[in-house]
Amino acid sequence: MSGNSIDTIHINFNEESLWVLNMALALVMFGIALDISLSDFKELFKKPKPVLVGVLSQFLLLPAVTFLLVISINPLPSVALGMFMVAACPGGNISNFITHMAKGNSALSVCLTAVATLLAIFMTPLNLEFWSSLYPPAAAILTTIAIAPLAMVKLVFLLLGIPLVAGMMVNYYLPTLAKKAAKLLKVASLVFFVVLIFIALYANRIIFLDYVFYVFWIVVLHNLVAFTTGFSIAKVFGLSIENTRTITIETGIQNSGLGLLLIFTFFDGLGGMALLTAFWGIWHLVSGLILATFWSSKPIEDKKELA
């Protein structure tokens, strides 16, 4: 592994591929939104506690715990930036499926997806800027890159906000069509997205091979910390087993696709950031399925929740 070169190199991803990545991410969000209705938001008002705990875990605790992890392991600066990027993103696009498989609260998962997506428009750029600026090595890179926060907010809105609203409208006016299209779009867009990540890694396989083990173990550790954070805060607030599983998954499954897109758009595919985020996009599929498989075999006998 050659020094700090990963902090200066950039992952090759041309404009055509970036445009396709934009469309793929928007399509993933649209497919998710086809399962979301206005009634899902009523969950926030009827039982706000689990939703508020989920938002707290995703947008406040995970970035803060990530900062503590970064100063503990002292990764290369661009890798640290990648960790902050992942932690700043909302829940991932497979969290609803993983939650259902793990016998969690699917309604809560859907509600959190909708709420987190809306909050991410502002919270993702804010968290990235704030926590990265507190870690001097990462802050040094940020000073060399002219980030336009409003431009980042605009892009996140276009990729998440508009598809969310559009998908919900289709669900409202054409519910039968939405139900059929959702199943197809979710699978097709997710496969397409994973293929894009592999293409990006293959096109930069020399860099990938140089740093594969270094980045891999950081991703595994960071992902484990994310799951633990969600599980712990849910237990602290006395949530039911179903809701605890949901908060754990929503915190550990992050929208790395959004992170990659922001990295290629605003950071010119900065090496450490792009590799860590791409690895996360692959690894959280594996870790999420392992966790869901384990929990699916564990019956839920007590569904009570502390007041």
pLDDT bracket for residue 62 (50, 70, 90): very high
Please report whether residue 22 resides in a domain. Answer: yes
Q: For residues 183 and 34, what is the distance between their CA atoms, to the nearest angstrom?
A: 9
Please report whether residue 5 resides in a domain. Answer: no
Which pLDDT does position 184 carry in this prediction? 79
Among 27-36, 107-116, 168-177, the least confident range: 27-36
DSSP secondary structure letters along 110-178: HHHHHHHHHHHHHHHHHHHHHHHHTSHHHHHHHHHS---HHHHHHHHIIIIIHHHHHHHHHHHH-HHHH
Report the predicted TM-score, pTM, of the whole model to 2 decimal places.
0.87
Which pLDDT does position 13 carry in this prediction? 63
CA-nearest of 268, 278, 258 to 128 is 258
β-strand partners of 270? 10
Read off the pLDDT of each residue in 59-69 and give the average, rounded to a whole number: 97
DSSP summary character for residue 59: I
Which pLDDT does position 189 carry in this prediction? 66
DSSP summary character for residue 6: G
101's enclosing H/E stretch is helix 95-101
The domain of 79 spans 13-295
Please report whether residue 303 resides in a domain. Answer: no
| 261, pLDDT greater than 90 | no
Report the chain's mean pLDDT, rounded to a whole number.
84
Tell me: the pLDDT tens digits for 233-244? 999 999 999 999
Read off the pLDDT of each residue in 40-63 and give the average, rounded to a whole number: 87
Please report whether residue 306 resides in a domain. Answer: no
Alpha-helical (H) ranges within 204-306 are 205-236, 241-252, 256-266, 271-296
Please report whether residue 4 resides in a domain. Answer: no
User: What is the SS3 assignment for 9?
Assistant: coil
Please report whether residue 7 resides in a domain. Answer: no
Which pLDDT does position 87 carry in this prediction? 96
Which pLDDT does position 237 carry in this prediction? 95
Which pLDDT does position 242 carry in this prediction? 92
Q: What is the CATH number of the domain that holds 138?
A: 1.20.1530.20
CB neighbour list of residue 97: distance below 8 Å, 6 or more residues apart:
186
β-strand partners of 272? none
pLDDT bracket for residue 245 (50, 70, 90): very high
**How many distinct structural domains can be found in the chain?**
1
Read off the pLDDT of each residue in 92-114 and give the average, rounded to a whole number: 84
| Burial of 287 per CB tally in 10 Å (0-12, 13-18, 19+) | buried
Tell me: the pLDDT tens digits for 179-233? 888 877 767 766 776 776 777 667 667 777 778 888 999 999 999 999 999 999 9
Tell me: the pLDDT tens digits for 66-88? 999 999 999 999 999 999 999 99
Read off the pLDDT of each residue in 98-109 and give the average, rounded to a whole number: 87
User: What is the SS3 assignment for 254?
Assistant: strand
Neighbour count for residue 214 (Cβ, 10 Å):
16
Matching residue, tokens 């809560």: 108
Which pLDDT does position 24 carry in this prediction? 77
| 2, pLDDT greater than 50 | no
Read off the pLDDT of each residue in 120-145 and give the average, rounded to a whole number: 88
DSSP secondary structure letters along 181-201: HHHHHHHHHHHHHHHHHHHHH
Output the six-digit token pair for 161: 């906000």
CA-nearest of 122, 109, 118 to 250 is 109
